[in-house]
Amino acid sequence: MTTPTQSPVFTKKQSERNIFRLLYFLAVVLLGTVQHANSFVLNDPPPSHPLRMASFNIRRFGKTVVSRTEVVANIVRIMERYDVVFVMETRDASMESVNKLRAALGETRWNYTASVPVGRSTYKEQYVYWYKPANVKLLQARLYTDTADDIDRDPYMAQFQYWSQSLGSEVKVTFVGAHLKPADVVEEMEGLTKVISAAERVFPDSQGIVTMGDFNADCNYMNGAERRAATLLNTPAKYTSFLGDASDTTVAHDTNCAYDRLIYTVQAVVMIVAVVVVVVVVVVVVVVAEAAVVVVV
Cβ neighbours around 2 below 10 Å, total = 16
Cβ neighbours around 108 below 10 Å, total = 10
Task: Give yes or no for a contact between 173 and 188, defined as CB atoms under 8 angstroms apart.
Answer: no
**Active-site choice (179, 187, 188, 253):** 179
Q: Is 170 a catalytic residue?
A: no
Most distant CA pair in the chain, distance: 51
**Active-site choice (125, 170, 200, 290):** 125
> DSSP assignment, residue 233?
T
Helix (H, G, I), strand (E, B) or coil at 94: coil
Distance, in Å, from the CA atom of 101 to the CA atom of 128, rounded to the nearest integer, reads 12
- Taken in order 200, 202, 204, 208, is the CA torsion positive or negative? negative
> DSSP assignment, residue 104?
H
Distances (CA, A) of 54 to 51, 120, 291: 10, 27, 11
Q: Is 179 a catalytic residue?
A: yes
Q: Which positions are catalytic?
A: 125, 179
